[in-house]
Structure formats: structure tokens, C-alpha cells
């Protein structure tokens, strides 16, 4: 997979050079390109925003720099993702779906957002997804893009050492994950559930499934609808 990111804060994504995704890049599993939107401006002040038509507070990102930036990286197979509080919910299912794509482009907005014509025009040349990370408002798309890149990247075969662990996490099967324990067997008067020390794998699997269902009912009943 190749991932390209367009942003006015390219340094924000330098963290992708380390940890899990850093290794995936070194091994060639993920190609990464980070593009400064201001490199696609032509005025002395490298202007990327202007006042909104129709009035209102704040500034809107100009379409021209976005058009040139996306022209420089877009191919018909691309999926262009615009983080947005007005987008469709990004879920584990979305991450799974996008992890099979050959090319993702993340368009990180700032200010009050990007001129809508950028979304409309880009949709004539590639698939466009406006995606929300949740019902709260960030100052820009970079944090959302970072979260999506991590959620997607870790699902790419070969990125995670033990793919079995992907099968047992929250949301991988539509339920919250079961509680986990490790040594010591007793800690500050708290003991590990005895079934986990029994060696009875059938009983352990049944207990874990029940824990998933109980947790999901208690914490996220909406997942059971």
C-alpha cells in the first residue's frame, strides 16, 4: 500500500517514521509520501486560505492549492480521504476495508475546512470518502488522519508480528474484547480469575466469550443492535 498525506503541517507526521509503521515502511509494506500544501501555492505569502463566501467566522481553504496538490499524486485507483466532523463514521470495518486498497490519500483540512469544490472535483477523478473519527471537533484533519493511518496500517498483512492478536481485539468481531491478565496470580489482594489458571481451554474460551458479551452489553449496548 502507498499512503500520501497533504497537510500544512508536514512535520506533524514525522512520528510515522518510528514504531510499528516505521518498520512497515522500512520493509516496503507501506510507502509514505507527505506533501506540504503550501508547496502548491504561487504567491509570496504561500496563501492557502481566504474568507468564506456568504460571510461567517473563520477562513476556508482555497481550492487552487488543493487541486494542484492532488493532481500531483492522484491516480484513478486512489481513495481520497478527507477527515471531517461531517463525515461518515470511521469504524474498524472501515479500517479493514481500506487496508486492502493500493493507494490512500489523506487530505488534511484546517481553518473552517476546505472549499467544497475540491471534494466535488476530486470525486470526478477518484473515490472520495469524508470520514469522521467521532462526534467531537478537532482543529484540523491531522490527528484524525494519524489515527486512521494507524488503524488501517496495522491490518496490512505482515505489519503486525502475530496476526492472531488482530482476531481477538475489541471490534474485530463486533464485540468489546475480554479482560486480560498476566503474572503475578495475586496482586494487591486481587486474584486472576481461576478459570484462566485451570488449563481447561474450552472453559477459558467460553469464559472469554461471556466476558465479551457482558462487557458489550454493559458498556456498548449499541454494538448489539
Ligand X SMILES: Nc1cc(-c2ccc3cc[nH]c3c2)n[nH]1
Site of interaction with ligand X (CB under 6 A): 83-85, 109-110, 113, 132-134, 136-141, 144
Going by C-beta distance under 8 Å and a sequence separation of 6 or more, which residues neighbour residue 175? 212, 213, 215, 216, 223
Least separation in angstroms between residue 87's CB and ligand X is 7
Least separation in angstroms between residue 172's CB and ligand X is 22
Least separation in angstroms between residue 112's CB and ligand X is 7
Alpha-carbon Rg for the chain, nearest whole angstrom, is: 22
Q: Residue length, the chain? A: 225
Q: Which is nearer to ligand X, 10 or 85 (CB)?
A: 85
Q: Residue 4: count other Cβ atoms within 10 Å of its Cβ.
A: 21
161 is in an annotated binding site: no
CA angle 125, 157, 98 (to 5 degrees): 30
Give the position of cell 470520514.
Answer: 131
136 is in an annotated binding site: yes
155 is in an annotated binding site: no
Least separation in angstroms between residue 67's CB and ligand X is 18
Q: Which is nearer to ligand X, 11 or 186 (CB)?
A: 11
Q: Which is nearer to ligand X, 134 or 157 (CB)?
A: 134
**Cα 128 to Cα 72: distance, rounded to the nearest angstrom:** 16
List residues forming the annotated binding site for S-adenosyl-L-methionine: 109, 133-138
List residues forming the annotated binding site: 109, 133-138
Amino acid at each position: 500500500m502507498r499512503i500520501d498525506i497533504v497537510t500544512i503541517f508536514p512535520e506533524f507526521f514525522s512520528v510515522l517514521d518510528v514504531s510499528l509503521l516505521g518498520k512497515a515502511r522500512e520493509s516496503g509494506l507501506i510507502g509514505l509520501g507527505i506533501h506540504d500544501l503550501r508547496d502548491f501555492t504561487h504567491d509570496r505569502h504561500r496563501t492557502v486560505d481566504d474568507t468564506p463566501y456568504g460571510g461567517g467566522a473563520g477562513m476556508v481553504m482555497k481550492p487552487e492549492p488543493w487541486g494542484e496538490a492532488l493532481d500531483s499524486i492522484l491516480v484513478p485507483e486512489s481513495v481520497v480521504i478527507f477527515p471531517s466532523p461531517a463525515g461518515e463514521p470511521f469504524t474498524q470495518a472501515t479500517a479493514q476495508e481500506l487496508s486492502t486498497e493500493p493507494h490512500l490519500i489523506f487530505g488534511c483540512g484546517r481553518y473552517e475546512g476546505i472549499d467544497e469544490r475540491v471534494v466535488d472535483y476530486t470525486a470526478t477523478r477518484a473515490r472520495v470518502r469524508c470520514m469522521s473519527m467521532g462526534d467531537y471537533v478537532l482543529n484540523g484533519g491531522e490527528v484524525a488522519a494519524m489515527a486512521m493511518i494507524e488503524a488501517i496500517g496495522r491490518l496490512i498483512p505482515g505489519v503486525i508480528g502475530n496476526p492472531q492478536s488482530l482476531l481477538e481485539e475489541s471490534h474485530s468481531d463486533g464485540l468489546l474484547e475480554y479482560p486480560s491478565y498476566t503474572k503475578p496470580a495475586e496482586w494487591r489482594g486481587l486474584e486472576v480469575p481461576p478459570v484462566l489458571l485451570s488449563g481447561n481451554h474450552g472453559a477459558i474460551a467460553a469464559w472469554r466469550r461471556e466476558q465479551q458479551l457482558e462487557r458489550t452489553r454493559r458498556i456498548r449496548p449499541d454494538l448489539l443492535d
